[in-house]
Structure 1
Amino acid sequence: MFMPIITTFQLMPYLVFLLQASFLESRPSTLNDIMDALRDDNINLIGVWGMAGVGKTTLLKQVAQQAKQQWLFTKQAYMDVSWTRDSDKRQEGIAELQQEIENALELSLWEEDESKKADELKQELMKEGKILIILDDIWTEIDLEKVGIPCKGDETQCKIVLASRDGDLLCKDMGAQRCFPVEHLPPEESWSLFKKTVGDSVEENLELRPIAIQVVKECEGLPIAIVTIAKALKDETVAVWKNALEQLRSCAPTNIRAVDKKVYSCLEWSYTHLKGDDVKSLFLLCGMLGYGDISLDLLLRYGMGLDLFDRIDSLEQARNRLLALVEILKASGLLLDSHEDTHMFDEEIDSSLLFMDADNKFVRMHSVVREVARAIASKDPHPFVVREDVGLEEWSETDESKRCAFISLHCKAVHDLPQELVWPELQFFLLQNNNPLLNIPNTFFEGMKKLKVLDLSRMHFTTLPSSLDSLANLRTLRLDRCELGDIALIGKLTKLEVLSLKCSTIQQLPNEMSRLTNLRLLDLNHCQKLEVIPRNILSSLSRLECLYMKSRFTQWATEGESNACLSELNHLSHLTTLEIYIPDAKLLPKDILFEKLTRYRIFIGTRGWLRTKRALKLWKVNRSLHLGDGMSKLLERSEELGFSQLSGTKYVLHPSDRESFLELKHLEVGDSPEIQYIMDSKNQQLLQHGAFPLLKSLILQNLKNFEEVWHGPIPIGSFGNLKTLKVRFCPKLKFLLLLSTARGLSQLEEMTIEYCDAMQQIIAYERESEIKEDGHAGTNLQLFPKLRTLILHDLPQLINFSSELETTSSTSLSTNARSENSFFSHKVSFPKTEKLMLYNVPKLNLSSIYRS
């Protein structure tokens, strides 16, 4: 029988330690009670509460896993709402929460107004059927109705699980019908978790074991303390273990809201135990930043300005050092991975998706860890301070403020900053949650001579404050999302290495920017009003390594005109990272040199989103006219290629040698009537070594004359990593794959074939031996062992999933006219398929396809 059509679940971004359910054996009782409440039709709102670090998020992970395994809901979504602790973000947070729910549940909402969107969201959720929404880390009451989450009455099947440190908040204020406390771990389970984290060898070391038992006892059954201290002590000497035990026993009470003194002590010891000032500084810097995910790209830009990365010669080296430091903090339990999918279409951080090719471009700091980090930072010899504008002038005169090296200032109520703040040791200054109309006096920065990093994002500047020219040591300047007028003053910041104007309203770059000869990174992404870049500005930035220009800038000049021309890029001998939009392929100089590019996203004639670090997206390109040697070499080194209205060729790809396209992961071709094949196998070396060994997705659509994926024999071992295959509107395509190729698609997870009028079979047998091998009655052909989704739509001539072809020559195939009964003699099974959708396939024999 076929599996029912289902919608893929959105898995929650697990935030705490990724503990397996089996580690926390005392939790099943609470877990079972929560699951029973989820099954109860009379309960819509469930609360989970417990002190910081006790394991609430881990329990929510288990709830989500079991709900998925038991098919309790058609869709589910997880949201971290730690922003509720900040009164200034609550209003903004509602809109963000609506957007997160829309994305997580794959909804399409049209309303922009918050209240109208709440009504629309509520209606959509009620139509969707059984929905599970999990809201984690609630600090103050959330009006669910105002968000658009239906939670009252019999008319909704939506279930909401809330988690907080405050049980009364959930049960009394938010009206949870059932509330479940999460208790400390019992001693035996605490020991089991500790041993699992630190390693079983702790049992075998007779000198170490009694010390370890006492260390675990000091953690008082709190998973966050147990895991953090275990990671810090792993592979350390007995002396270090003894010291840790003494420190834990002598810990002083803390006044951090809802943070147990033992949790604080464990985290503080783990911080102290970090080896190196650079990793400690990075930890404190992460603690200063706002709640939610932290972009590694942002950390890189701050770190460059702060000289956080010693003895580096390039941004590439700085990036590698940053990733190494982040891994140290993760291994110590002080940083967590983030769920990156939620950022795929965030224009503010998309540059990090290009430069940071780590497994995860974002990290998250647990809210408890962040509170401890801020407490530690405030006592640091060069204090890190997060301040509100309340009492700013009085505090700015204190000795504490004059010692501060790092200040994050939340401007909430004030409209005018003081004329001058004398902070002689200040190196890092971040304005957060600003009123865009906040006035910064011209003399404001005169008392900050050591400043290295300045972030003034989301501000309005007709002209920049004149005292900026006194910041002779400034290395990183962020003016993202700013309303900008005249910024000529930037030309005086000659030590500047990082300049970001992303999403700003800048219309013209000043001539004075030519003085920024130390600049390594320039970000002009999404500067939609940028119209003028004076000639020779770009070419004068001789040390530039990263250039981001994915914007609406279309005024690229040809030789002799006053605006910038693309040939200036040839003068940037250090350029290794480029993201750029070029409106017309005709603007590309034939001699453009991109030999040193290691990361690039180049959009020609089109815009959009690309996923990998080496990618091209081309529109209205004549292959024979527009692509010079430089672009052709990039083409062959790319991980991702997108073509639309490609002309001048009947092949998409023209390999020059066997190394071509070996790194290609994603290929999309559309709206190109001249295209007949993806590639020709005339290259004999390809036949020996296979082709597209890393290709993960292949999307072909609206190709009116497309005949075959491959012209000629397909190399053995090709497409071995393909996961997604989509073919739409290819009216001349009679079959999709040869059996020899299909058998190699062991990783295929999704296949969609739509609107292909001539297609008679999906899989074709090429040789007589294949027909004899698989053609006898009763044989089940098992293909695509990992296939999860199969969609066949509007295929009027499709008779069978697989059938035979006869070879008429060594390079051409045609349908063999055989009796209808022979088509029905083979069955193709898909053991793992979860989603099977068939529309308008009137001739298909359904008995030939089954799910075993």
Structure 2
Amino acid sequence: MKKVLIILDDIWRPGIDLEELGIPLRNEPKKIEGSSSREEHAEWIEGGSLREEYAERKILVISRDANVLSDLMGSQQNFLLHQLKYEEAWELLKRIVGDRAERDDIHSAAIEIVRECGGLPLAITTMAKALKNKEPYEWMDAVRILKRPSSENFDDISASVYSAIELSYSHLESEKLKKTFLLCCLIGHGYSIQYLLMVGVGLGLFANTIEQARNEVLTLISKLRASSLLIDNSDSNYFDMHDLIHDVAVSIASRDRHGLLLTGDHEPKEWSDRKEMKGFKWIRLQNANINGLPDVFEGRQLTFFSLENNEASLKIPEEFFEGMQELKVLDLAEMHFTSLPSSIGLLKVLRTLCFYGCSLGDISIIGKLKNLEILIISGSDIEELPREIGELTQLKLLDLSCCSELKIIPQHVLARMSRLEELYLGKAFDGWGVEENDNQRNASLAELKHLKKLTNLEVCIPDIQMIPKDFFFENLKRFEIFIGPKWEDQDSSFGSSRILKLHLNASISFNYSVKMLLKMTEELHLRELAGVQNVVDELNAEGFPDLNRLSPALSNTPSSKIAT
């Protein structure tokens, strides 16, 4: 490592401490344990063992604001990335549109669009994809709009670029696609598609079942990526967008009174204008610096409210939600509660309720939300699931993943959720009780047999012999199941939908349910291998038709026995 290039992309403001990021600015020799002097240390380095400490380092900082570069740390050289020349811009449009750009009825409009986009690749790309298959009159109308740019503007976004992105948005094929795009931008950068799904289902934007809704969301995300309004992501489970597109979309949502996103270090002026806030349908407060919450928030049209704030001093007043009778999605992240505000019980049409990373006390009031379909308590410090949760008979999805303090799920609570389609308990709860024992506090795995609609399951099972012999694994479309003592490394990164992690410390016979589970598994992880012969016997007998990854590879097993 004689030369190292460090790239800091998308820097928004000056004042970043590179030392805090772990980027040393000086090549100072480090003290070697056991060495008695600097001379010994230097001599040791001369021998070559730490020569990489003296590597040549260059730091490349990328920003939309040239002032950030000079203020950041006094950059030595600044390079301006110029707009495309006309010829380059024309070739970019032609590459997307094809020969249609040369047609007599489109050619002049295409030239004007390239000129109006000002050589910015993002604007050209979004416009070209929006108009690619449109009629000539739509091209001409796009030229008209670009020549009369929107009055909306930002310091670092030209009016013409703003209009180009807005026009690309307006050409989306359906209102559902437009709403999905605005929702993506309101949610923000780098969020999971699963979270978008939870919000969209709650708003009634997507299909009825969770599985159908997931397929619909993935289709819509694919269309938005094809339009260049969302960025292709290396991780298909997440979505993201360019900063310029995000800023324009948030502005459009605010202008049309659809959604409001408040972030930042200063209290936003919109928050202090209660009359202004009343008209929005979606409001998201993402670590916004706000001086408290009103006793009652008047939001009669509000259907989605999100509050993320890790300040323990911020409290939600008891009557805060009384003015949100139409609320369908409530997302509270990193909040601190001893008990939930009593006014939450008044949200009779609420369909999605999220507590991400919250400190929770008494949440039994949730049992009053009879129309709730999605409940997320992921990453929170809840210790006992209240028995009142069993009243949520309309629940389709329950997520208790990563609740490391969860010790008690009362008997008969899960069995009452007959409409449950997805259940996430992995990385958290493994205190299952014994089947048909009414004297225990915790639910048994046998309760899951009552969930006939369950298609997605994540669960930890401490002992393989706890799995009922008549379990219904064949109904599952996706699962991540951990069997045996808790797995420290529980994450998988191979894109499989059906994952089994098996820790056997003794050789046992597999019952029918376990055999069915093995046959359905796409990705199989083994540990301790005390019972590996059982797995090999199953492979040899019937094979694993869907298996595409085995970890670790059974190097001492004939390859013919692990072929799939």
Same fold (TM over 0.5): yes
Name the residue aligned to 2:227.
332
Q: Deviation string for 1:289-346 (max 9, x for gaps)? A: 23x312101100111111111xx33111000110111111111110012233xxxxxx
Report the number of matched residues.
529
Q: 1:665 aligned to 2:548? A: yes
Name the residue aligned to 2:453.
574
- Greater share of strand: 1
Q: 1:278 aligned to 2:176? A: yes
One-letter code aligned to 1:511: R
Distance 1:368 1:393 in 2: 22
Distance 2:289 2:148 in 1: 41
One-letter code aligned to 1:642: H
CA spacing shift, 1:510–1:237, aligned 2, 3 Å: same
**Displacement after TM superposition at 1:181 (Å):** 0.6
Aligned partners of 2:337 and 2:361 also within 8 Å: yes
Name the residue aligned to 2:20.
146
Distance 1:465 1:513 in 2: 17
Distance 1:326 1:370 in 2: 15
Name the residue aligned to 1:682.
none
Distance 1:394 1:602 in 2: 45
Distance 1:377 1:587 in 2: 51
CA spacing shift, 1:201–1:494, aligned 2, 3 Å: same
Question: 146, 156, 161: which one pairs with 1:258?
Answer: 156
**Displacement after TM superposition at 1:663 (Å):** 2.1
Question: 152, 161, 167: which one pairs with 2:66?
Answer: 167
Aligned partners of 1:444 and 1:467 also within 8 Å: yes
Name the residue aligned to 1:833.
none
Question: 75, 100, 104: which one pairs with 1:201?
Answer: 100
Q: 1:460 aligned to 2:336? A: yes
Distance 1:564 1:529 in 2: 16
One-letter code aligned to 2:411: R
Distance 2:391 2:278 in 1: 32
Name the residue aligned to 1:321.
216
Name the residue aligned to 2:46.
none
Distance 2:66 2:26 in 1: 20
Question: 116, 120, 125: which one pairs with 1:227?
Answer: 125
CA spacing shift, 1:425–1:363, aligned 2, 3 Å: same
Q: 1:585 aligned to 2:503? A: no
Distance 1:375 1:655 in 2: 59
Name the residue aligned to 1:54.
none
Specify the SS of the correspondent of 1:431.
strand
One-letter code aligned to 1:176: S
Name the residue aligned to 2:520.
637
**Displacement after TM superposition at 1:655 (Å):** 5.1
Q: 1:243 aligned to 2:135? A: no
Question: 171, 196, 199: which one pairs with 1:299?
Answer: 196
One-letter code aligned to 2:93: F
Q: 1:363 aligned to 2:239? A: yes
Aligned partners of 2:414 and 2:448 also within 8 Å: yes
Q: Deviation string for 1:463-498 (max 9, x for gaps)? A: 110000111111111111111111100101111111
CA spacing shift, 1:463–1:392, aligned 2, 3 Å: farther
CA spacing shift, 1:659–1:369, aligned 2, 3 Å: farther
One-letter code aligned to 2:283: I
Distance 2:289 2:221 in 1: 35
Specify the SS of the correspondent of 1:245.
helix
Based on CA coordinates, which of the two structures has the bigger radius of gyration? 1
Distance 1:238 1:637 in 2: 52
Kindly report which structure 2 residues correspond to 1:417-432, keeping only aligned pairs within 5 A, or say none: 417-432=293-308
CA spacing shift, 1:156–1:167, aligned 2, 3 Å: farther
Q: 1:446 aligned to 2:322? A: yes
Q: Deviation string for 1:253-298 (max 9, x for gaps)? A: 43313011111001000111112111111111111123x3121011
CA root-mean-square deviation: 2.3
Distance 2:557 2:541 in 1: 24
Aligned partners of 1:578 and 1:600 also within 8 Å: yes
- Greater share of helix: 2
Q: 1:502 aligned to 2:378? A: yes
Q: 1:135 aligned to 2:2? A: no
Specify the SS of the correspondent of 2:274.
coil
Distance 1:613 1:604 in 2: 17
Q: Percentage identity across aligned positions?
A: 42
**Displacement after TM superposition at 1:587 (Å):** 1.6
Name the residue aligned to 2:112.
214
Aligned partners of 2:233 and 2:240 also within 8 Å: yes
TM norm structure 1: 0.59
Name the residue aligned to 1:696.
none
One-letter code aligned to 1:662: P
Aligned partners of 1:642 and 1:668 also within 8 Å: yes
**Displacement after TM superposition at 1:656 (Å):** 7.7
**Displacement after TM superposition at 1:556 (Å):** 0.8
Q: 1:618 aligned to 2:502? A: yes
CA spacing shift, 1:629–1:167, aligned 2, 3 Å: same
The answer for unaligned runs of 5 or more in structure 2 is: 29-53
Aligned partners of 1:288 and 1:408 also within 8 Å: yes
Aligned partners of 1:556 and 1:563 also within 8 Å: yes
**Displacement after TM superposition at 1:506 (Å):** 0.5
Aligned partners of 1:618 and 1:644 also within 8 Å: yes
**Displacement after TM superposition at 1:384 (Å):** 3.5
Q: Deviation string for 1:557-590 (max 9, x for gaps)? A: 1121331000001000000000001111122222
**Displacement after TM superposition at 1:366 (Å):** 0.6
Distance 2:428 2:261 in 1: 38
Aligned partners of 1:554 and 1:582 also within 8 Å: yes
One-letter code aligned to 2:129: K
Q: Which stretch shows the higher mean deviation, 318-327 or 164-173? A: 164-173
Distance 2:532 2:329 in 1: 51
Distance 1:600 1:707 in 2: 27
Q: Deviation string for 1:73-100 (max 9, x for gaps)? A: xxxxxxxxxxxxxxxxxxxxxxxxxxxx
Aligned partners of 1:393 and 1:418 also within 8 Å: no
Name the residue aligned to 1:395.
272
Distance 2:450 2:535 in 1: 31
CA spacing shift, 1:391–1:140, aligned 2, 3 Å: closer
**Displacement after TM superposition at 1:248 (Å):** 0.8
Aligned partners of 1:599 and 1:614 also within 8 Å: yes
**Displacement after TM superposition at 1:156 (Å):** 4.5
Specify the SS of the correspondent of 1:617.
strand
One-letter code aligned to 2:431: Q
Specify the SS of the correspondent of 2:181.
helix
Name the residue aligned to 1:599.
478
Distance 2:71 2:407 in 1: 56
One-letter code aligned to 1:564: A
Specify the SS of the correspondent of 2:67.
helix
Specify the SS of the correspondent of 2:178.
helix
**Displacement after TM superposition at 1:217 (Å):** 1.2
**Displacement after TM superposition at 1:433 (Å):** 3.9
Distance 1:257 1:427 in 2: 32
Aligned partners of 2:185 and 2:250 also within 8 Å: yes
Specify the SS of the correspondent of 2:517.
helix
Aligned partners of 2:262 and 2:284 also within 8 Å: yes
Distance 2:475 2:557 in 1: 37
One-letter code aligned to 1:237: E
CA spacing shift, 1:592–1:646, aligned 2, 3 Å: farther
Distance 1:649 1:198 in 2: 57
Q: 1:708 aligned to 2:558? A: yes
Specify the SS of the correspondent of 1:710.
helix
Larger relative CO (CA 8 A, sep 6+): 1 or 2? 1
Aligned partners of 1:427 and 1:453 also within 8 Å: yes
Distance 1:707 1:320 in 2: 39
